[in-house]
Amino acid sequence: MLFKDFLTPERILGDLGATTKSEAITELAESFFLNGTINPGLREGVLAALFHREEIQSTALGQGFGMAIPHAKHPGVRGLVGVFGRSREGVDFASPDGQPVHLFFMLLSNRESANRHLEALAYISRKFRNREFRNCLLRAVNQAQIADFLEDSDNEE
């Protein structure tokens, strides 16, 4: 599993405007609908699935990582898709360590893609355990630099 297996450059948001958890989830999810990755008619159901997952337990990792992986499954999603977002200001995402979240990977899939969904979660989690990896994403100047960094990271695998 690599970032390029579920993420495309147009689904990299270098400067999230969200200031709340709800706004962050909505802003990230909107990128799927805006570029046609997911049918806009599924917006309400997809958002409901994402918010339901967050009600169960926050997807913020804590441990000083400053990241979250909001994710859900929805029958209308084809395969596995992702979006990356960065908030320079940080968002209160109910992280176990109480720290704001700056880096987000949102994943959506259907039930048939459950194994790929788990592989992507594991890949993202493994990458984000590396402090320098996180710092490079935080320091990136723009969306293109983030995309290049993630591609380089894939190439190291």
Tens-place pLDDT, residues 57-78: 888 887 778 899 999 999 999 9
Architecture per CATH, domain 3-155, reads as 3-Layer(aba) Sandwich (3.40)
Catalytic option among 52, 71, 74, 117: 71
Percent of the chain whose pLDDT exceeds 90: 83
Predicted pLDDT at 119: 96
Q: Check if 71 is active-site.
A: yes
Q: In this predicted structure, what is the pLDDT of residue 102?
A: 95
**The model's pTM:** 0.93
Residue 16 has pLDDT above 90, yes or no: yes
Beta carbons within 8 Å of 109's beta carbon, 6+ residues apart: 71, 73, 77, 79, 80, 81, 116, 117
Look at residue 64 in the predicted model and tell me its pLDDT.
74
Specify whether the CB–CB gap between 43 and 33 falls below 8 A: yes
Tens-digit pLDDT profile for residues 23-68: 999 999 999 999 889 999 999 999 999 999 999 988 888 777 889 9
Please report, for the chain, the start and end positions of each structural domain, with discontinuous segments joined by +. 3-155
Give the mean model confidence (pLDDT) for residues 133-143: 93
Q: Which residue has the higher pLDDT, 84 or 35?
A: 84
How far is residue 22 CA from its own chain's centroid?
A: 14
Quick one: pLDDT at residue 17? 94
Give pLDDT, residue 124: 93
Residue 129, pLDDT > 90, answer no
Give dist(CA 73, CA 58) in Å, integer.
16
Cβ atoms of 128 and 103 within 8 Å: the answer is yes
Q: Which residues contact 102 (CB under 8 A, 6 or more apart)?
A: 66, 67, 86, 87, 88, 90, 91, 138
The residue behind tokens 């997809």 is: 46
